[in-house]
């Protein structure tokens, strides 16, 4: 986490190409490596603890990535509803 990134990284997701494009478009490029921070960049299928506000924003745009509920922190519920998280939870195949 950098000084500029003060979000609540509480929602564990499996990122998709569509989500990565959306996030980049919204100003949070998660796919480009940033070696000085040891960040290799994400690719579709990677798991990532996403800011709850970014997940909620993606939900509003219809491209919320699937959620791993067992790895998601309960503090996410301060930002998003349990029903939405359950509706987007991972199936047994992930």
Domains, the chain, with CATH or none: 9-87 (3.30.56.110)
- Written as six digits, the tokens of 14 are 């499996």
Kindly tell me the sign of the dihedral angle through the C-alpha atoms of 38, 64, 21, 5.
Answer: negative
Span 42-93, pLDDT tens digits: 999 999 999 999 999 999 999 999 999 999 999 999 999 999 999 999 975 4
Split at pLDDT 50, 70, 90, the class of 2 is very low
CA-only gyration radius of the chain, Å: 13
Span 3-43, pLDDT tens digits: 444 578 999 999 999 999 999 999 999 999 999 999 999 99
Give the pLDDT of residue 91.
Answer: 77
Give the pLDDT of residue 6.
Answer: 58
- CA–chain centroid gap for 59, Å, is 10
């Amino acid at each position: 986490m950098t000084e500029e990134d003060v979000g609540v990284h509480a929602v564990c997701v499996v990122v998709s190409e569509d989500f990565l494009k959306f996030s980049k478009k919204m100003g949070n490029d998660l796919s480009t490596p940033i070696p000085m921070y040891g960040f290799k960049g994400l690719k579709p299928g990677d798991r990532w603890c996403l800011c709850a506000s970014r997940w909620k924003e993606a939900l509003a745009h219809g491209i919320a990535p699937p959620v791993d509920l067992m790895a998601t922190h309960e503090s996410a519920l301060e930002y998003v509803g349990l029903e939405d998280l359950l509706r987007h939870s991972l199936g047994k195949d992930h």
